[in-house]
Amino acid sequence: LAARIDTLPTAEKRLLQDAAVIGHDVPFALLHAICGMQEDEVRGLLGNLQASEFLYNTQLFPDLQFTFKHSLTHDVAYAGLRHERRREMHERVVQRMEALYADRLDEQVERLADHALRGHLFEKAVQYLRRAGEKARDREAYPEAVVLLEKALEALSHLPDNLARDQLAIDLRFDLRNALQPLGDRKR
């Protein structure tokens, strides 16, 4: 599969890797925003990737969206990127998502948290992970909330040590306690 991806023309390979950074499900608007190509060019390359059976169209309305044909294709395309380029692309995805979905960030908060964490945008990662944890807690998905809040605490450890960070650490621990309590995990 890696050899097959490597034989793609450079523009198609790059677009496939950009799509892999976005995730398994790839909104066209976001892919277009991060790739730096003209819309017609992106559509043409996506048509070629569909013909090669790397991606397929899963949604036309309200937003055009593509999905990787196989999870392994996504994984191999993502693994083909250098670590520094991956980090830069995740950072770019966060910036473009914040612009594209400015009026509905809460719908995208889990994806934003993941990309911020992978892009080493730790301040934003803490913010989005906490919001995602609160969202999970509100829908009574307590185990998910615990995982998200623990990731927020981990991301917080990468920020400079100051009073604001210490206060946020305390708040996150209270949030974590509130997610653990319904699970009966009083010891933790």
Q: Where are the beta strands (DSSP E) in the chain?
A: 25-27, 55-59, 65-68
* pLDDT at site 147: 98
Written as one string, the DSSP assignment of 116-128 is HHHTT-HHHHHHH
DSSP category for residue 179: H
Residue 173, pLDDT > 90, answer yes
pLDDT tens readout for residues 9-49: 999 999 999 999 999 999 999 999 999 999 999 999 999 99
**Using one digit for the tens of pLDDT, what is the confidence trace for 77-115?**
999 999 999 999 999 999 999 999 999 999 999 999 999
Q: Is 88 helix (H, G, I), strand (E, B) or coil?
A: helix
| Predicted pLDDT at 41 | 97
